[in-house]
Amino acid sequence: MILLCANSLTIFAQDWQLYLAPKIRQLHDISFQTREKVVVVGGHPFNDSITYMGYSNTSGKNWSLVLDLYPGKIQKAVLFTSEISGISAGVNESLYKTSDGGQTWVADVYAIELNNRNTNTLFKGNGSTVFAAGGLDNENGFILKSNDNGNMWETLYEWTNNEVYAGYYFTSDHIAVCGPNNFIQTSTDNGLTWSTPQIESVEYTPVLNEIVFVDANVGYCAGGKTGVDSLALILRTTDGGLNWNIVYNEINPCLNAIEKVTENILYAAGDYGLILKSEDAGLTWIKQDIDASAGQDIFAIDFFNEHVGGFAGRWGNVLIYNDGYYDNIEHNNIKETNYYPNPATDFVYFEEELSNPTIIDTNGSTIIKISGKVNYISVSELIKGNYFIISDNLKTVKITVQ
């Protein structure tokens, strides 16, 4: 780790830190809305009698207890359709909504008869389309669809003999789901009809806990086998889910989650704090030795970008990854703006106003800091070279001073 002193910023720092969300609860899902704003959902670790939500606006360092409702229903999934609008769902048809980024939640209903089945996963489709899927006791699986970000729901499909644990919408009209008993199904018509792909066999019947796609063709499914002879399994498809082959099948705790961070970087995690990482788009996986993981089961992964992310699991454990880079040169705000000229000698002009802009050099040192809103910055007194302009409301821009 390299740290710069006052008036400078962290340039390179690989950092894992374990934090505890309020109450000792089982955290089934985690979601980053921004680099700072994080939401976790779950409930009581031994039964489904508590509904739990936690919120952090400090990248997981500090937490607010939003909801710890008894009697309640444990939450299994959370999905944000915008930075402020989100849905949480769980056992026994439970459904909640937030309109303030997860700081408060209100109970809602599907208005569909689910016969007390559980929702295990929520995932986005195109535009305002949202999917919910689940089942009960490894059977009676279902998938629901909403075309208005979760306000109105319709049943798409049901599986009598299998439950859905996870799903992923990976290209136009293409969906894949997975679950217990080596269960994978794919659809090419937005969930209306489903088919069973070819799956390379193993010497046991694996549970498949989560599925993710890197692009329209390449996807991964993670799971394995629990118990004293546990195994970690990762399957890979290169043809949009038609065929799945083994890329990882090792004596390790069972995997519960898998997450695409970039086109090349993926993480998988599971029981007893197991974390695997791939840096070659999932072809090979390396076990990560992270002391901060505390050896507790991990149930969910979410990354805001390759520099900031988190793992959530048993006993309120939230493992945060922050390499420090996001806090300086890559400043991922939502909006972009055009600017000119570049290279510049006197002034740089912006089509939209910058809020509280700061100019830093390539070493991360602050050169100019301006309070308020401006649409141009003088660079006439800067030494020739490359600089970055960071603001509170727009993406970071790189300029060259001549």
User: Is 179 a member of any domain?
Assistant: yes
What is the tally of structural domains in the chain?
2
Is 157 in the same domain as 270? yes
Is 391 in the same domain as 287? no
User: Is 10 a member of any domain?
Assistant: no
Could you give phi then psi for residue 316, rounded to 5 degrees?
A: 75, 15
| Entry pTM | 0.79
Residue with tokens 């990482």: 277
Q: What is the mean pLDDT of each run of 10 residues along the chain (402 residues)?
A: 29 68 94 91 83 94 94 96 93 96 96 94 92 96 96 96 96 93 96 96 96 94 95 97 97 97 94 95 93 84 90 94 61 64 90 83 73 85 86 80 88
Per-residue pLDDT, 323: 78
Per-residue pLDDT, 29: 98
Residue with tokens 């086998």: 225
Rg (CA), the chain: 23
3-state per-residue secondary structure call for the chain: CECCCCCECCCECCCEEEEECCCCCEEEEEEECCCCCEEEEEECCCCCCCEEEEEECCCCCCCEEEEEECCCCCEEEEEECCCCCEEEEECCCCEEEECCCCCCCEEECCCCCCCCCEEEEEEECCCCCEEEEEEECCEEEEEEEECCCCCCCEEEEEECCCCCCEEEEEECCEEEEEECCCEEEEECCCCCCCECCEECCCCCCCEEEEEEECCCCCEEEEEEECCCCCEEEEEEECCCCCEEEEEEEECCCCEEEEEECCCCCEEEEEHHHCEEEECCCCCCCEECCCHHHCCCCEEEEEEEECCEEEEEEHHHEEEEEECCHHHCCCCCCCECCCEECCCECCEEEEEEEEECCEEEECCCEEEEECCCEEEEEECCCCCCEEEEEECCCECCEEEEEC
Q: Is the separation of the CB atoms in 106 and 87 below 8 Å?
A: no
Is 321 in the same domain as 353? no
CA–CA distance, 186 with 304 (Å, rounded to integer): 27
Is 101 in the same domain as 197? yes
Q: Is the separation of the CB atoms in 368 and 358 below 8 Å?
A: yes
Task: Provide the residue range defining the domain that includes 390.
Answer: 339-401
Is 197 in the same domain as 176? yes
Is 318 in the same domain as 386? no
The residue among 299, 327, 355 that closes a domain is: 327
Q: Report the sign of the C-alpha dihedral through residues 72, 78, 81, 85, in that order.
A: positive
User: Is 11 a member of any domain?
Assistant: no
Is 313 in the same domain as 361? no
Give CA angle at 306 (34, 281), nearest 5°: 135
CATH code, 202: 2.130.10.10
Per-residue pLDDT, 2: 29
Q: Which residues contact 6 (CB under 8 A, 6 or more apart)?
A: none
Q: Is the separation of the CB atoms in 252 and 206 below 8 Å?
A: no
Q: How many residues does the chain have?
A: 402
The residue among 327, 360, 382 that closes a domain is: 327
Per-residue pLDDT, 358: 82
User: Is 103 a member of any domain?
Assistant: yes
Q: Is the separation of the CB atoms in 92 and 48 below 8 Å?
A: yes
Per-residue pLDDT, 283: 95
Is 73 in the same domain as 212? yes
Q: Report the sign of the C-alpha dihedral through residues 257, 261, 266, 272, in that order.
A: negative
User: Is 6 a member of any domain?
Assistant: no
User: Is 254 a member of any domain?
Assistant: yes
Is 165 in the same domain as 287? yes
Per-residue pLDDT, 364: 61
CA–CA distance, 244 with 82 (Å, rounded to integer): 33
Is 277 in the same domain as 172? yes
Could you give phi then psi for residue 139, rounded to 5 degrees?
A: -150, -175
Distance of CA 108 to the CA centre of its chain: 23
Give the tokens for residue 255.
Answer: 């995997």
User: Is 67 a member of any domain?
Assistant: yes
User: Is 92 a member of any domain?
Assistant: yes
Per-residue pLDDT, 195: 96
Per-residue pLDDT, 335: 63
Is 92 in the same domain as 221? yes
Is 347 in the same domain as 242? no
The residue among 270, 305, 327 that closes a domain is: 327
CA–CA distance, 200 with 247 (Å, rounded to integer): 10
Per-residue pLDDT, 208: 98
